[in-house]
Structure 1
Amino acid sequence: MVIKSRYVKSICFFFLVLLSSCHVTKVPQTVPASVKSVSCALGIHVSNKDYFPLYLEISSWIGVPYKYGGITRKGVDCSGLVLNVYREVYGVVLSRSSEQMMQQDCRELSRQQLRGGDLVFFATTKNKKKINHVGIYLKDNLFVHSTTSRGVILSSLDENYYRKTWVGAGRVKRKK
């Protein structure tokens, strides 16, 4: 009888421990820290509707200084930035110049058709038809680009300077 009693007590104790360790705690739904840090780095709200790999890559370029012909994080020009981001995020190799990107790599879009990842083109010299600047559209009229004075930054298409120098937009064609 003593053995059966110990055996029953042991089994009961085992099940008590097992049941007490199986309580359920609701885990609060939170945004991953990386989304928060990217939002902070870019100064905009990044949500689950946004293509996160694009925003993550762009956040790693913010503040990189401008360098004519540059293609590294030590210094980059506008087309070098676009070239790098597209290669890293989409696995697509684009032409090296902003004008060639528009002519060879993109199909033209209206401003109203812009989606995250589309390219925006500008003519910032006296020749208002010659594309010499490119950026990547994000959302809410914001785009990322490399400027000669401030390096890689976000700007708004609504800024007077970019309204005046706007040439067009393009969506990168799928390579066959």
Structure 2
Amino acid sequence: MKRYLKILLVVSLVCGVLMSCSTTRRSHSHRPNYASLSKQYGIRINSSDFIPLYEEGALWLGTPYRYGGNSKRGVDCSGFVSAVYRKLFHVKLNRSAELILRRDCKKIGKKKLQTCDLVFFATGRNRSKVNHVGIYLKNGYFIHASTSKGVVISHLDEPYYRSKWKTAARVKM
């Protein structure tokens, strides 16, 4: 009898351990707050937009600029774009605007811009060299890491960005 009790105890313990290691599927519906996102971005965001981009971007808004940075403590333009693409699409991009354009993208016309495409600028002394990149949102708006303001939303028609515009491109996935 003692032997059976020991076996029963061991089997019960094994079952208990195995059951405690099981995972339960938790279903939770994530409902984006369109009003809050719209307010943060200063543009109307609705269910037809690619919400993961707006939610991820919102987490970065206001992050200070830091040359070579790639975290929320400080980020530069290519670090920001790379981090967002890694998070949303599991794609590893190069770490300079010029290399992202040359190696990771296919150029497209400005009129063909879609959400998540990249926009490139030449903001330095050399007007032919791409040195700044942002992620296109919609309606001319893009999100990027500005050297003076950190991660912000800007518009392609702002005089500064209009004068520094180089090209648009779509990431090869």
Q: Do 2:121 and 2:167's aligned partners in 1 also have CA atoms closer than 8 Å?
A: yes
Q: Distance in 2 between matches of 1:139 and 1:33?
A: 18
Give 3-state SS (helix, strand or coil) of 2:126's partner.
coil
Determine the structure 2 residue equivalent to 1:147: 146
Q: Residues 33 and 108 from structure 1, CA distance in 2 versus in 1: closer, same or farther, beyond 3 angstroms?
A: closer
Q: Counterparts of 1:118-133 in structure 2 under 5 Å?
A: 118-133=117-132
Q: Distance in 2 between matches of 1:33 and 1:101?
A: 30
Tell me whether 1:161 sits opposite 2:157 in the alignment.
no
Aligned length: 143
One-letter code aligned to 1:126: R
Q: Do 2:134 and 2:144's aligned partners in 1 also have CA atoms closer than 8 Å?
A: yes
- Could you say which structure has the larger radius of gyration? 1
Determine the structure 2 residue equivalent to 1:84: 83
Q: Counterparts of 1:1-176 in structure 2 under 5 Å?
A: 32=31, 34-174=33-173
RMSD (Å), alpha carbons: 1.0
CA shift at 1:37, angstroms? 2.0
Give 3-state SS (helix, strand or coil) of 1:144's partner.
strand
TM-score, with length taken from structure 2: 0.80
Q: Distance in 2 between matches of 1:162 and 1:37?
A: 27
Q: Distance in 2 between matches of 1:33 and 1:92?
A: 24
Q: Do 2:32 and 2:51's aligned partners in 1 also have CA atoms closer than 8 Å?
A: no
TM-score, with length taken from structure 1: 0.79
Q: Which runs of 5+ in 1 are unaligned?
A: 1-31
Percentage of matched positions with identical amino acids: 48
One-letter code aligned to 2:54: Y
CA shift at 1:35, angstroms? 2.5
CA shift at 1:59, angstroms? 0.7
Give 3-state SS (helix, strand or coil) of 1:95's partner.
coil
Q: Which runs of 5+ in 2 are unaligned?
A: 1-30
